[in-house]
């Protein structure tokens, strides 16, 4: 089994579009179903592009204190010790929890001398699954307003880990960024496909991401998406990629790709002979031949 993580530093460089098109192309080449894991829990889009309605298979919950007002003697120990400053003693009303501030560490429950705080659970997101042509999808979705995006990402990845050995190829789609969540998705990878675009900000964020991938010692290939975008930077991008000795591919910016994106359909399905589709197929072939080695 091989895990391919698609990531990109900057937002909107084309991670999800590439993850889906690549998954289809890989399925075509290997004749196997591909497991696609959508870890962009803050805005999962894979299902829209796959045209499927995922079903919830698991709710993700974290600790939340439940206050027993009858036992509470308002000593204030929990208020004092709460590292998130989520508990307040309000005169005449007693102990109050501001749920959006609570980090779920359960400290309050342990410091309470009267056992007035018990374990409760709050839902922070959901794990969902769907099946489409050639692709089995697992996705995580963060509940809007919750801060626990890392927890939802991790729970989603762990859920998929239980059965991913059944697949020959697993593709992970990630959110933008270079933080803890990305680290987790990179750690699981056998191969990283870094997606960038030929703009100054695209290059700046890619450099940041690349130094993270490099520091983790993960094999990396780069896709320069939107290649041919008018006004783009090509020389400095190419120079950086060559200096770093990175294998890279062009994914051309064409009308068909744009039109497919707007319709929410993989370009590979609606315009199989467009330059962008040919580019995706080439990347898939190179990935597969790389795996054989």
Does position 256 interact with another protein (CB under 8 A)? The reply is: no
**215: helix, strand or coil:** helix
Does position 179 interact with another protein (CB under 8 A)? The reply is: yes
In the bound state with another protein, the residue whose beta carbon lies nearer, of 169 and 224, is 224
Does position 10 interact with another protein (CB under 8 A)? The reply is: yes
Ranges of beta strands (E only) in the chain are 2-7, 34-38, 55-67, 87-90, 94-97, 117-132, 135-142, 169-173, 191-196, 220-227, 247-252
Shortest distance, CB of residue 289 to another protein, whole angstroms? 30
In the bound state with another protein, the residue whose beta carbon lies nearer, of 166 and 263, is 263
Q: Name every residue whose Cβ is closer than 8 Å to that of residue 30 and which is 6 or more positions away in sequence.
A: 168, 169, 288
Judged by CB under 8 A, the residue of 33, 149, 250, 252 near another protein is: 149
What is the C-alpha to C-alpha distance for residues 279 and 195, in angstroms, rounded to an integer?
14
Shortest distance, CB of residue 38 to another protein, whole angstroms? 12
- The one segment of 27-35, 66-74, 126-134, 140-148 that binds another protein by CB under 8 A: 140-148
**43: helix, strand or coil:** coil
Shortest distance, CB of residue 103 to another protein, whole angstroms? 6
Cβ distance 279 to 249 under 8 Å? Answer: yes
Between CA 13 and CA 239, with CA 172 as vertex, the angle to 5 degrees is 40
Shortest distance, CB of residue 34 to another protein, whole angstroms? 21
Judged by CB under 8 A, the residue of 103, 129, 134, 244 near another protein is: 103
Does position 230 interact with another protein (CB under 8 A)? The reply is: yes
Q: Quick one: which of 147, 124, 137, 132 has its CA closest to 172?
A: 137
- The one segment of 88-96, 97-105, 162-170, 240-248 that binds another protein by CB under 8 A: 97-105
Q: Name every residue whose Cβ is closer than 8 Å to that of residue 241 and which is 6 or more positions away in sequence.
A: 222, 224, 248
Does position 79 interact with another protein (CB under 8 A)? The reply is: no
Residue 221, strand partner residues: 193, 247
- The one segment of 160-168, 205-213, 238-246, 277-285 that binds another protein by CB under 8 A: 205-213
What is the C-alpha to C-alpha distance for residues 174 and 187, in angstroms, rounded to an integer?
12
* Number of residues counted as binding another protein (CB under 8 A): 61
Query: Which residues form the interface with another protein (CB under 8 A)?
Result: 9-13, 16, 40-43, 45, 48-49, 62-63, 81, 83-84, 100, 103-107, 110-111, 142, 144-145, 147-150, 175-180, 182-184, 199-201, 204-205, 208-209, 211-212, 215, 229-233, 258, 261-262, 264
């Amino acid at each position: 089994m091989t895990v391919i993580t698609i990531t990109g530093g900057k937002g909107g460089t084309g991670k999800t579009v590439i993850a889906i098109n690549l998954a289809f192309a890989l399925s075509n080449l290997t004749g196997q179903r591909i497991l696609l894991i959508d870890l962009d829990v803050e805005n999962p889009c894979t299902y829209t592009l796959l045209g499927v309605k995922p079903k919830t298979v698991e709710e993700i919950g974290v600790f939340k204190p439940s206050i027993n007002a009858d036992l509470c003697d308002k000593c204030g120990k929990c208020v004092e010790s709460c590292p998130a400053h989520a508990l307040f003693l309000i005169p005449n009303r007693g102990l109050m929890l501001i749920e959006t501030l609570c980090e779920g560490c359960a400290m309050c429950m342990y410091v309470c001398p009267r056992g007035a705080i018990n374990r409760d659970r709050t839902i922070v997101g959901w794990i969902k699954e769907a099946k489409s042509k050639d692709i089995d999808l697992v996705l995580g979705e963060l509940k809007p307003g919750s801060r626990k995006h890392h927890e939802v990402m991790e729970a989603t990845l762990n859920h998929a880990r239980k059965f991913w050995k059944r697949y020959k190829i697993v593709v992970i789609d990630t959110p933008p960024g270079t933080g803890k969540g990305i680290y987790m998705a990179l750690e699981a990878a056998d191969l990283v496909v870094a997606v960038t675009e030929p703009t100054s900000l695209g290059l700046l964020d890619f450099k940041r991401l690349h130094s993270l991938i490099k520091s983790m010692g993960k094999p990396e290939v780069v896709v320069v998406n939107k290649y041919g975008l008018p006004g783009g930077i090509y020389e400095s991008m190419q120079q950086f990629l060559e200096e770093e000795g990175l294998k890279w591919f062009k994914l051309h910016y064409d009308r068909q790709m744009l039109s497919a994106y707007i319709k929410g359909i993989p370009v590979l399905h609606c315009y199989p002979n467009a330059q962008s589709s040919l580019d995706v197929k080439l990347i898939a072939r190179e990935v597969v031949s790389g795996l054989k080695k």
